[in-house]
A and B are shown apart, each in its own frame.
Chain A
Amino acid sequence: MSMQELIWGVVGLLLTVMVLSYLIGDNLFFRIAGYILVGVTAGFLTVLVTRQILWPYLIQPVAYGSWLERLWVLIPLVLALLLVIGQFKRFEGAGRVPLAFLAGLTAAIAVGGSVFGTLIPQMRAVVDGFAPSSWYATPGRPWMRIMEAVFMLVGVLGTLSYFHFGRRRRQEHTPGDEERPLFLEVLKKVGEIFIGVTLGTVFAGIFLSALLAMIDRIEFIGDFIFRLLGGN
């Protein structure tokens, strides 16, 4: 084992034990490990952004680029300066310009992606399940494909019904007006089942991911100690 491996192995072992010390409650060692994590992450991010974003995309064009490139870079530079100036209370209005630019751009990209990348393809997938050609596309039992398509459609409608909170507006209230139609109530109950199964699956996935991370740490500690004692 080289010195470098030994040092970093000891550091890794100590940090792992410090984090696991949370088993006895919040303590100084756990906090130290947390502070180290936050500090190292912030420092690493600063260096990364400076090296991979600010230097090649902003500083380098301004310093060594042509006049046209400098004009191009002037746009983000002005927006960044406005954001910095906006931190002062007297000029806080200036910070709204880059924030509005960023929010609008983010919304445009996110909405476009959600509509054309998720909503429309997913709706099409639900409908395509009822196409007879898809039932015989692969060898197997067609009625299973049909049942699968029906199951998917019921799940989609039930989930959407669960998030339906609309009411019919009426001038006069009569007993029973606040109740939704029966078919919506039934679909809502079905949707609750689908949502519950989905959340349970996600919860189990998080558990499995955490479990494997823990096994990895245990293996690391065991291997390090084994190698420290002279094993191969």
Chain B
Amino acid sequence: MMSVLICPECAAENPPEAEKCWVCQASLAGVTPSEEISTPGSDSDVGEVLPQADDDLTGLLHSLKQEDDLSDFQVGGAEDLLSSPEETEGSEEQEDAEEEPELPEWLSRIRQRAQTEADSVGEVTQKIRTAYEILDEDKKEDQRRQFEGLIDKIHQEDSPQPPGEVTPDEGQPKESGAPAPSDEDWLTKIRKKHAPLGGDLSQDDPSQREGDSLLQWLVALEDGVEETDEVPEPSPPHPVEDTQEVQLSVGPLDATQEITLGERPLPRRKDRELTISREEQNRADQLSATILDEKAPRPVRGFEQTALQRGLRLVLGLVLIAILSLAAFYRGPANPPTGLQGPHTQAALDWVESLPEDASLLIVMDYQSGFSAELAQAAQPMFEQIVGEGRRAALISSTPVGAPLFYRLLDENGWTGALSIRDLGYFPAESFGAFGLAYHSLSGWQIRTQPAFNKALPAESFDGILILGDDYSGVMAWIEQLSTLMPDTPIVLLVSAQAGPLLLPYWESGQVEGMISGFSEAAILAQDGPQLANRWRAFQVGIVMMILMLSIGMSLPSREPEGIEGQGVR
């Protein structure tokens, strides 16, 4: 055997005359020469066992293991290794018996018999023992394979060449005592990675540095320290760091070494049984579909229409306007319906006819300009009964244009001056206005120093409240507040056709005295006149036209514009 110098830094073998390590350039001064690690036929044996070259780490470990076994073989004798497990165990027990002279005689006889007779401990016991030994051997073999696989992974990462590709160095036989530089680079990288910042690797004391357990383990093996086959499984990787901490139990030199792994092993998690209902599964599927749909790329939906669509809409619109114009200006006979008013309409008429001569009314204006034609038509039969000498009205608006629309209504019908009007102003919020008005009129006490706006509200009660509204929510707010705080004051509604159906329950419950909704009910109450007749005719024609258009539109197949497929949750 040839003497070599083992580098204390990287454990590389160097010629005896070398002053520095050829791998890590560490000083070899003071290093005692030692014999080169070689076993009989090691090159060929390792090459047969492992597919890699004999100069890689696995081969090195394997050769070290074989050398260790060989030394055990030489010390313990070949008969120990070749003997059966029972005999080996028997020899150990014999040694224990020699160390324990106080054993009773019967136990000594049993042990002697067990050593000499194969079936002394019973057939079952022998089978159990054999099974344990087989399991133990399998376990050791499995752990060894895992460790070799781990080392192979480290090695593959260190030399990132595709598997199966043979480098020129690997293809040639390695010279003894001169391993290729790439074989030790992985260890150097690991050490550099975990070395202190700014520290000089060659200047550090190897025994004081953490993370050198592998090197120390190799040195310890070389010095004859018994290795431990137990290699625990790697712990689950940290979710953030790119390194995995692998704890290697290496006999007396237990340490933790942090090894960078390119490929994280999948954490082993025990599958937990999840029980969900069908509805929960459907919701989860729906949520997944929604998320996927939201993330799906789709073009921006444009409002561009084809020329055919624009033309069709233009033609239909012009046809509708033309037919309505003909119906509105045709001077033919028209018969507005009479005598078909509903009970709520009749109740409104009854209320207005029962008003006293000096009635005081509160008129609430809560509609926009677009509904002025419809509301004016609905208010006409009522105001014809209301206006008169001695009648007073307080006007309050919850829309900005409420007061102008009311004065326009009076002006168009020639009622200006026929009614004493007191304008209470504009109340932006219906609920606040109704609550403040009702509470103020009912409160028996007043604060003398309160500002003028509270004093401006009428404190007296009204003979009736007339609400003109186009929207359900606004009128409902007035009804809720006034019917609660002023339950004795009758409320009459003059509302649009779109608000009427939703406000009818308030008449059913008795909170509202009467109601006129829309042009249909107003036309029944209105007196005959040419304008009403023409408008009624156009109204009927328009209804028929809209029914036809809706029917045609529903019968046509809907065509989804291109580019919006997948929109929405299906």
Chain A residues engaging chain B, CB cutoff 8 angstroms:
20, 23-26, 41, 44-45, 48-49, 52-53, 56-57, 60-61, 65-66, 68-69, 71-73, 105-106, 109-110, 112-114, 116-118, 121-122, 124-125, 172-173, 175, 177-178, 198, 201-202, 204-209, 211-216, 218-219, 222
Q: CA A174 – CA B479 in complex, angstroms?
A: 49
Comparing B140-148, B178-186, B244-252, B309-317, the segment that makes contact with chain A is B309-317
Quick one: CB contact mask for B270-293 with A, threshold 8 Å, 1 for yes?
Answer: 000001111110000000000000
Selected from A65, A66, A178, A219, the residue in CB contact (under 8 A) with B278 is A178
Quick one: CB contact mask for B367-392 with A, threshold 8 Å, 1 for yes?
Answer: 00011011001000000000000000
Cβ-closest chain A residue relative to B279: A178
Given contact pairs A48-B426, A116-B480, enumerate 7 new A-B contacts (beta carbons under 8 Å).
Answer: A69-B451, A106-B429, A205-B499, A212-B377, A213-B373, A218-B321, A222-B328
Q: CA A44 – CA B402 in complex, angstroms?
A: 12
Q: Is the CB of B325 within 8 A of A113?
A: no
Cβ-closest chain B residue relative to A105: B432
Main secondary structure of the interface of B (DSSP, over half): helix
Q: Could you say which residues of chain B place their CB within 8 Å of the CB of A56?
A: 425, 452-453, 456
**Is B406 on the interface with A (CB-CB < 8 A)?**
no
Q: Is the CB of B374 within 8 A of A213?
A: yes
CB distance from A130 to the nearest CB of B (A): 14
Q: Is the CB of A202 within 8 A of B498?
A: yes
CB distance from B322 to the nearest CB of A (A): 10
Q: CA A118 – CA B538 in complex, angstroms?
A: 37
Q: Is the CB of A205 within 8 A of B497?
A: yes
Q: CA A71 – CA B450 in complex, angstroms?
A: 9
Size of the B side of the interface (Cβ < 8 Å), in residues, is 71
Quick one: CB contact mask for B492-504 with A, threshold 8 Å, 1 for yes?
Answer: 0000111111100
A-B contact pairs, 25 of them (CB 8 A): A41-B400, A48-B426, A53-B428, A65-B451, A72-B450, A113-B480, A113-B481, A113-B484, A117-B479, A118-B480, A172-B275, A173-B276, A177-B277, A201-B501, A205-B496, A208-B498, A208-B543, A209-B371, A212-B519, A212-B535, A213-B370, A218-B325, A218-B328, A218-B538, A219-B535
Q: Could you say which residues of chain A place their CB within 8 Å of the CB of B511?
A: 117, 121
CB distance from B126 to the nearest CB of A (A): 50
Q: Is the CB of B373 within 8 A of A114?
A: no
Cβ-closest chain A residue relative to B313: A23
Q: Could you say which residues of chain A place their CB within 8 Å of the CB of B280?
A: 178
**Is B212 on the interface with A (CB-CB < 8 A)?**
no
Selected from A41, A124, A209, the residue in CB contact (under 8 A) with B470 is A209
Q: CA A44 – CA B403 in complex, angstroms?
A: 13
Q: Could you say which residues of chain A place their CB within 8 Å of the CB of B451?
A: 57, 61, 65, 69, 72-73
Cβ-closest chain B residue relative to A23: B317
